Amino acid sequence: MTILMKAPAKINLTLDVLYKRTDGYHEVEMVMTTIDLADRLELRPRDDGKIVIETSASYVPADEHNLAYKAAKLIQERFQVTRGVTIAIDKRIPVAAGLGGGSSDAAATIKGLNQLWDLGLSTEEMAVLGAEVGSDVPFCIYGGTALAKGRGEQIIPLPGPPPFWIVLAKPPIGVSTAHVYQHLDLGQVSERPKTEQMIQALKRREFSLIVKSMGNVLETVTLKSYPEVQHLKQKLAQFGADGVLMSGSGPTVFGLTQKESRAQRIYNGLKGFCQDVYMVRSAGT
């Protein structure tokens, strides 16, 4: 039996950091939603007990550093599974971009192996396992739209937003999440995202209020280190995006609009300034 899984990217509609914890992580409050840009995973059973990663992208590790490998290894050990698996990853989500690509591959691996190895795990149990691989993995297990708290692993599902288009632009740099959190100075943060207002906006399915509630405190670090990220934000706004924000720790920025024709105009405009531009639909319902 071969299992095919879709591993979608996420964007942060809000990302607030409350304080730095004694364990080195930051206590966060963030609203994330799934978008229609996804890696494809094929999970093929092996009799030799090995975990083998095959990937189309040369810049993604094909060894034990791959988050999909880590997820499979964790499950093998935790449930004393003697069977192996080949995980073929067709990489479509930009890497080290703030879109949770590696986390989503790990989540898809956990869900796929739950089927392949007949583990009978619930969504909650898979999310708890996922948190051992990375803070964003539990959200990717649930998918949809959710509020994430703690270090990101506590998931409270939310109603999905009304449909909209997203234009993503990724400058040609990779940003380390650890580096961004390390350099965050909460004293420098003057504007916080309106998390509670975002939750209300989602409950009321009010696009204009969603746009007004967006915010990401990690922009204070990434925009300072990489002026090109700020430049792309300005371009997205200039070409007509209603809401513009950096996702996660960056460097990908995105613009939202409900009109397909406007999304196309923003996409075409951005293409002149940036090689990596995507136009996708929201998928967080």
Ligand X SMILES: C[C@](O)(CO)[C@H](O)COP(=O)(O)OP(=O)(O)OC[C@H]1O[C@@H](n2ccc(N)nc2=O)[C@H](O)[C@@H]1O
Ligand Y SMILES: Nc1ncnc2c1ncn2[C@@H]1O[C@H](COP(=O)(O)OP(=O)(O)OP(=O)(O)O)[C@@H](O)[C@H]1O
Rounded Cα gap, residues 285 and 273, in angstroms: 32
Q: Is 134 in the site for ligand X (CB under 6 A)?
A: yes
For CA atoms 270, 38, 153, 63, the dihedral sign is negative
Rounded Cα gap, residues 151 and 20, in angstroms: 10
> Do 174 and 95 form a contact (C-beta atoms < 8 A)?
yes
Contact characters 66-85, ligand Y, x per CB under 6 A: xxx-----------------
Binding residues for ATP: 94-104
Q: Is 151 in the site for ligand X (CB under 6 A)?
A: yes
> Do 147 and 158 form a contact (C-beta atoms < 8 A)?
yes
- Segment lying near ligand Y (by CB under 6 A), choices 93-101, 118-126, 237-245, 267-275: 93-101
Sheet of 165-170: strands edge to edge?
A: 243-246, 253-257, 165-170, 276-281
Residues with a known catalytic role: 10, 136
Tokens of 64: 């034990």
Residue with tokens 């990908």: 252
Rounded Cα gap, residues 106 and 269, in angstroms: 34
Residues in 10-29 that interact with ligand X by CB under 6 A: 12, 15, 24-26, 28
Count of residues that bind ligand Y according to CB under 6 A: 21
**Upper half-sphere CA count for residue 24 (Cβ side, 13 Å):** 4
Q: Is 105 in the site for ligand X (CB under 6 A)?
A: no
Nearer to ligand Y, 193 or 248 (CB): 248
Q: Is 131 in the site for ligand Y (CB under 6 A)?
A: no
Q: Which of 243, 248, 251, 284 binds ligand X (CB under 6 A)?
A: 248
Residues in 168-207 that interact with ligand Y by CB under 6 A: 177
Q: Which of 14, 103, 114, 216 binds ligand Y (CB under 6 A)?
A: 103
Residues in 198-257 that interact with ligand Y by CB under 6 A: 248-249
Binding site for ligand Y (CB under 6 A): 60-61, 65-68, 89, 95-103, 105, 136, 177, 248-249
